[in-house]
Amino acid sequence: MSRVTEQYEAFPYPERDPAEEGKRLITGSPSHPLEIDHYLFGGKRDWSQPLRALVAGGGTGDALIQLAQVLTSAGKPYEITYLDLSTAARQVAEARAAARGLTGITFHTRSLLEAPGLGPFDYIDCCGVLHHLPDPQAGFDALSAALAPGGGIGLMVYAPFGRSGVYPLQEAFGTALTGSPRDRLRRAKAIFERIPDGHPFKRNLQLSDHKASDAGFYDLLLHSQDRPYRIGELLETLDRAGLAMTGSPQVHLYDPLPILGDKRLLQGLDARAQMNLAEALRGTIRTHVLYAAKDVEGRVATPTPEAVPHLKGVTGPQLAQHLAKHGVIPLTHEGERFEIPVPALAVRAFAGIDGRRSLRQIAEGARTDWLAFAPIWAGVSKAMTGHGMMYYSRLSAG
């Protein structure tokens, strides 16, 4: 048994209690069906057709449960295959699915490198896994080979700058500690208490997994195989796998201009160099979350008259009420604050967003026509989708 497998048998990650499934649904990026539709299917997927999905390295089941529960609640068909090397993690995921009465899921204790033999898949989730493989490129290649024509991938890998202090401690604990996972955890916790307050890890206020659970502490600071990626390195890895980034719910983080303040400083830099520059300037990006496919044309949804918008974390009337008073949407990400100004016409439009109405219908409800509405909405849409606050999908449109 490898040390990575040994870790997840002892400490299934993330720590989850199936008894809590009746209280909450954990959601996030990637792999919410609305987000999948927006970044991979142009917001136009025919959800009456079954989604054949793979959750590769599914752990205790966050992505699996989110995907299956949202589609079940929407009354949409699906077939999901779950893969993970850890029997203990799989048992938690199975118990969570059973607690919700979710069906249509096949569980396997296998490596994601075997994915091509189980496909092809319309969608593949791989969240927080590829950076833990002994050969990450082999993992990217295997997932690419498992895609059906027109399919796509949602992935998350670690980034180095926002995890400041993690890797020195992983190295130190890896050098000093031996024994079983529980022995290593016990000793590491005692040592951690004596680490100077000036250590980069203790000064990094964005990290909290080590406080959440034993599994979180171990995964963050005792992992034996953890390779972070700069955004440029990640895009090059996708290239080698025959994939390309289609979009990201955190794309605003890769724009250096708001920090530089002068477009002339970007002269001579291509898109990837600019993304790398933004990552270095911010210094707070902990993970890269993005969607990828073998072809990118037409993948990301645009605000056409028939597009159906969905808001994340707030209802349309709630947001419209806030905007009527303040005129801007305030956002905070990793300690950085943003504001999205919203014109009056768009404020009225937000009140009509219910996940079923098209933009044309919303414009009519705001007492305007599409030609007047479209240019105003385009700017709002770009800002909202760029911050992962809005998606286009016909999942609930009937």
Residues in the chain, pLDDT under 50: none
- What pLDDT does 351 receive? 93
pLDDT digits (tens, 9 = 90+) for 150-167: 999 999 999 999 999 999
- What pLDDT does 333 receive? 82
Q: How far apart are CA 210 and CA 212, in angstroms?
A: 6
- What pLDDT does 398 receive? 57
In order of their start, the domains of the chain are 3-160+228-250+285-293 (3.40.50.150), 162-221 (no CATH), 251-278 (no CATH), 309-392 (no CATH)
- What pLDDT does 318 receive? 93
